[in-house]
Structure 1
Amino acid sequence: MAYKQKSRPRPLADTDKLCSADEAAELLGVAPQTLAHWRVRGTGPRYITLSARCVRYRASDIRTWLDDRAKDSTAENGRDGQ
């Protein structure tokens, strides 16, 4: 009799890794409270709420948010009002 192995869920790609608020804050070099303030204001990286107390950040969303804020010169600082 052949043994049928259960299929395992595919692991998330590194860019789809879900980070806790503490992990995301560490990656960004800010305090977790700063991320909480950014969530309230809508100025931080996109986030996912799994429940009322469980917030996660996709690594790809953090990367996109950082890339959108990259500047080549100080002349760009006032360009987008941020």
Structure 2
Amino acid sequence: MTSQDLGQELAEIRALVVRTNTPEVLTPREAADFLSVTDETLFRWRKDGVGPKYSQPNSRIVRYLRDDLISWMKEYQ
């Protein structure tokens, strides 16, 4: 097994752990990991108004609810 293969396998295991142990309220980075997209994609979706629902209590904080992400994924599978 090469180091690249090992890195890929570790990334897959990490993604599985994130999905199975996801907190109720997620940061944008956690939400992006949960959805298997980049932070930039999630940011673009917010700006374009096409992504999952989110809460922005002030200009610096964005949070996602896990249930909203799951609902959004089911709607757009």
Runs of 4+ in 1 over 2 A off after TM superposition: none
Compute the RMSD of aligned alpha carbons: 1.9
1:16–1:60 Cα contact (<8 Å) kept? no
Deviation at 1:50, TM superposition (A): 2.2
- Aligned-partner residue type, residue 23 of structure 1: E
Percent identity (aligned): 35
Q: Which runs of 5+ in 2 are unaligned?
A: 1-20
1:48 pairs with one of 34, 50, 55: 55
State the partner residue of 2:31: 24
Q: Flag the structure with higher helix content.
A: 2
Distance 1:16 1:45 in 2: 16
Paired residue total? 57
Which string of whole-angstrom CA distances, capped at 9 and with x for unpartnered residues, describes residues 21-72 of structure 1? 00000001111111110001111000000221110000010000000012xx
Q: Which runs of 5+ in 1 are unaligned?
A: 1-13, 71-82
Which of the two has higher C-alpha Rg?
1
Distance 2:41 2:22 in 1: 23
Distance 1:62 1:16 in 2: 12
